Structure 1
Amino acid sequence: MDDFGSKLIRVTQNDNVFEVEDILTNILSRLPVKSLLICKSVSKYWRDLICSPSFMHSHLVQSRENSSYAFYPSYPSWDDNIPLLTKTDGETTQSFLDCDGFYFEGMVCSFNGLICCTNFHGPFVYERIEDSNTFDIHICNPATREVLLLPPTPTSEYIPKIGVSFGPTLNEYKVFQFYYRDEQLYECKVYSSIVGSWKSMGTVPYSPYTSSNHVCINETVFWFSLSMIDGRLVGHILAVDKEENFSTIRIPEEETMRPFLVNLEGCLCLVARHGLGQLDIWALQDSKESVWMKKWSDNIPQNFNIQGLSYVTVQKNEILLANWVRSVFYNMETRTWREFNWEHAHEDKFSLPMAYTESLLPCKY
């Protein structure tokens, strides 16, 4: 098979010439990761092809066509593996993350098949961490079952806020971690997948409100943040660009308390719910001048109005709105609503859903 696979076979069809690698890439890139891991044992040629960056990119392009969402158990598990469920086109599959029985406090983000998860050892009270406990960050690929534990960082009295930027290469990323210092200042550290270590960025005046309400667009990370200004609580956006420069963006006055940040067609947008059932979407027009335009507005049917909205994400033309009990979809093209039926989920047993795309990308650059 090695000899056969190494030869270039030319096939002429409709005046187009293909090499065997093009044909194999076209076929294999349509397979799920589980099948590709088996195909790697067929021959050295197949293994090298599947492990090549160009093939990983081709496979990722195909995977993005299938909408998928990931959940994990939101209760402690002391087994050797943590199950992670993914849902694609109505079908449910289960993967396992080899994490020595850690308890995942949350999925921070998911991008190109890599999921950033946080966990801690030992009990905590609200957002405080006891001195004897440690806080860990993992980068996981559920499809390949690879898990990378990032180097430890100094302990903090409170659980740090996290954010991840991706790019420009496929599996290059930076993890930002904010530590509480005092009433006015936070310390920020950044981990680079290229360097493989943390570095301090010094103190910053603002900190993200939550880790989950952040988004990365064109290598810039955006978080929703709350600050006391002139005696009142004001919402704004904290941003860090690819050169690691910080900035803040004002948000529309009527959306100041709790909008959700999403990437809609490469544009930073805010998704907010008003009153008894109105959904608004704002698009950022100018980050320097904080200029926003209301891009969308629609009414939420009473039977789809989620109380205590905790997470919002967008895939293609659908918005997923979720809390710990219920998830619903809104289709912007048809202006219709539907329930996200998750047969495995049960109240207080599974995490919030997070957009997920299966890939072969390694966790370590």
Structure 2
Amino acid sequence: MEKNKLTNVGDLSEELLTEVLARLPIKTLLVCKSVSKPWLSHISNPNFINSHLRYIINNNNNDNNPTLLDILDSPEVNLFLDTYSTCHICIDRVVMPSVFRHSRVVGTSCCNGIVCLSNDYRNVVYLWNPSIRGFKEVFVPELYVSKWCPVKTGFAYDSTCNDYKVFRILYEVNLDSVTSKMQVYLVNGDSWREFRVPFWGKTMREKFEGNDFIVVNERLYFNSWDEEQLIAFDLRKEVFGLVPFPGSVQNKWSDVLDFKGSIAVVFESVSGIDLWTLDDDVSGQVSSWTKMFSIVPGPMFNMWLSCYLGAGQFYGNNLLEGNLFAHNILYDSEKKESKYYRDGREYILATLKYTKTLVSLDGFHQVEENADE
């Protein structure tokens, strides 16, 4: 029999080339773009980018390869981390580009590799993929003069229409009432639309206070300071709902978390401090909470958990008297151990759960090389 001949990489079919390249990390793929014009065209093709994204999502479903991204104010930041040898977390660091200098990161995780930022006045939104150094600037409808006050910004991917959406909730104070509305920006259409939020009256601002949100199963959950419920928004139906907390709990000790594809919150009750997961419809009329496991604070008694990273690891803060954030921590829910991650006084602007992707949105521009120096 004739021995199989070695195949030149250039002779691979489109399908096989996609199959091979989709398994490569982002850094390698960016280098591969320089190999040849055909490879540059192939890797830049939206079909390949989607294939690579699907491979990453499917590969990360085992929850064993979490990545934490530190966004720095300066490259001269030292990290004291005593968990490099004992935890399975990849830690990336990137300096905030100067174009975003007066902005803050929205949420505690990226969306398919896209990080959402909002400027100090909340009238400009940036969508940024640090892996490919691309960004898009989105101006809000009432850019310069408005009687509406923004209180919440969110960002999500809607698989039903294959589109990314930016959400802004605003309120207007009148003499005897508070009116609220939701604005939605569609990336594919590069357009805004809006509709009124139909309830909550004078407590609107308090219910939406804070800047955190999470997206699970095509639903946007806002982290409310209300002690009895959280706020949900169905991306498909575009309806709001209030989801009551379990009746037996007292204080809340976390943001709203995405725990293995389920909404989760850490609550304190008479039995201790535990993580609970939610199974509900967005209307809040049918909801149930299940206690999953106990959180043991250990030597750092007061902890606030901000994000579930995977592999049993949580990111958060330990608290001083008066609920002031002090040190950032990593909490291992399997070993019931907390370890210092970094000092809260360092010039790290944000830390979030991150996934490296090639995703590029319409209207993306390259961050200038000198913009983050």
TM bucket normalised to smaller: 0.7 to 0.9
Aligned to 1:328: 330
Q: Per-residue deviation at 1:28?
A: 3.0
* Superimposed CA distance per residue, residues 23-50 of structure 1 (whole angstroms, 9 cap, x where no aligned partner): x434433433233222112122212221
Matches within 5 A, 1:1-365: 7-8=11-12, 19=13, 21-22=15-16, 24-60=17-53, 61-62=55-56, 64=60, 66-73=65-72, 92-100=91-99, 102-108=101-107, 109-120=109-120, 135-154=123-142, 155=146, 158-168=149-159, 172-182=163-173, 183-206=177-200, 207=204, 209-210=208-209, 212-226=211-225, 234-255=228-249, 258=252, 260-273=255-268, 278-285=273-280, 287=282, 288-307=284-303, 309=304, 311-322=306-317, 324=325, 325-331=327-333, 334-339=334-339, 341-342=341-342, 346-347=344-345, 349-364=347-362
**8 Å CA contact 1:179, 1:186 repeated in 2:** yes
- Tell me the TM-score normalized by structure 1: 0.73
Q: Per-residue deviation at 1:314?
A: 4.3
Q: Which amino acid is 2:290 matched to?
A: K
- Tell me the TM-score normalized by structure 2: 0.72
CA distance in 2, matches of 1:340, 1:282: 26
Higher RCO (CA-CA < 8 Å; seq separation 6+): 2
**8 Å CA contact 1:322, 1:353 repeated in 2:** no
**8 Å CA contact 2:118, 2:126 repeated in 1:** yes
Distance 1:222 1:152, change over 3 A: same
Percent identity, aligned pairs only, is: 20
Distance 1:170 1:185, change over 3 A: closer
**8 Å CA contact 1:262, 1:312 repeated in 2:** yes
**8 Å CA contact 1:310, 1:322 repeated in 2:** yes
Give the 3-state SS of the residue equivalent to 1:72 in structure 2: strand
**8 Å CA contact 1:98, 1:145 repeated in 2:** no
Q: Which amino acid is 1:28 matched to?
A: L
**8 Å CA contact 1:262, 1:314 repeated in 2:** no
**8 Å CA contact 1:114, 1:363 repeated in 2:** no
- Count of residues in Structure 1 that have an aligned counterpart in Structure 2: 322
Q: Which amino acid is 2:218 matched to?
A: E
Q: Which runs of 4+ in 1 moved over 6 A?
A: none
CA distance in 2, matches of 1:185, 1:20: 54
CA distance in 2, matches of 1:348, 1:277: 32
Provide the alpha-carbon RMSD of the alignment: 3.6
Q: Per-residue deviation at 1:310?
A: 6.3
CA distance in 2, matches of 1:28, 1:89: 25
Q: Per-residue deviation at 1:91?
A: 5.5
CA distance in 1, matches of 2:166, 2:90: 32
Give the 3-state SS of the residue equivalent to 1:173 in structure 2: strand
Q: Which amino acid is 1:44 matched to?
A: K
* Superimposed CA distance per residue, residues 124-151 of structure 1 (whole angstroms, 9 cap, x where no aligned partner): xxxxxxxxx5632111101111111112
